[in-house]
Amino acid sequence: MHTAPALLLLLTLGFCEYGHGAPLQIKVRSPKDMTQLQVGQRLELECRTDRHSGAFWIHQDKAGTLHFIVFISSTSQTTFQGNHRTSPLFEARREGVSYHLVVKSFTRWDEGKYFCVMNFNQRLYFSPGLLAFLPATTTVPPTTSQSGTTEHLSLQTPDPERRMQEDLDFFCHIFIWVPLAGACLLLLIALVITIVLCQQTRRRRCRCKR
């Protein structure tokens, strides 16, 4: 009974400090120019690592919303959105330690950033985002000033990178730290209960000796 509180304390610290150690290395590969895609083009992305842990493919659209596409298990099983084995829009497969995602026919709805996500040692690892966009087609008509010269207006579109990164960080914190905090809280409660029981046991032994 005397060693139980110490063991629970060590377990609590171990759970609260999980995920440390050698990080998982993820390498992603895509066509050379992902910002000049064409409508209807077949797009193939590759995620490569040295661990057989399965991989998720996630799409972040231009508004910053994350969309689950597919999970490819270490045994080559694929699970698409809606718990389907196949998808009319995507293909997925595993080749050794490489996990491939194929967009069958690229459209403007597929524009955005693609991430390969892996769960290893109770921790999520995100690959660098792969940007995929159609060519810009916006044209600005010239405006004539009173002096007769022609001026061209340039459109300034806000860079969505910062917003995408903030949304992604928030997603990571919610996905990882909320379950972890719950586990740590349960272990701390168990530790307090064990300490109280140990103290009650000692008091009873002391009374019996007298």
User: Do 193 and 130 fall within a single domain?
Assistant: no
Query: Is residue 199 in a domain?
Result: yes
- Domain check: are 124 and 171 in the same one? no
Are residues 100 and 172 located together in one domain of the fold? Answer: no
- Counting the structural domains of the chain, the total is 2
Band (171; pLDDT cuts 50, 70, 90): low
Mean pLDDT of 39-43: 94
pLDDT of the residue at 114: 96
pLDDT in tens, 79-138: 999 999 999 999 999 998 899 999 999 999 999 999 999 988 878 889 999 999 998 765
Q: Whole-angstrom Cα distance, residue 154 to residue 49?
A: 43
The reply to whether 27 and 125 lie within a common domain is yes
Residue 57 lies in a domain: yes
Dist. CA 25–CA 34, nearest whole Å = 23
State whether 61 and 131 are in the same domain: yes
Q: Last residue of some domain: 95, 121, 136?
A: 136
Asked if 120 and 198 sit in the same domain, the reply is no
Note whether 182 and 123 are same-domain residues: no
Q: Which domain holds residue 69?
A: 23-136
Residue range 167-172: mean pLDDT, rounded:
59
- Residue 168 pLDDT > 70, yes or no? no
Residue 74, domain member (yes or no): yes
- Last residue of one domain, picked from the residues 118, 136, 154: 136
If one counts every other C-beta atom within 10 angstroms of the C-beta of residue 35, the result is 11
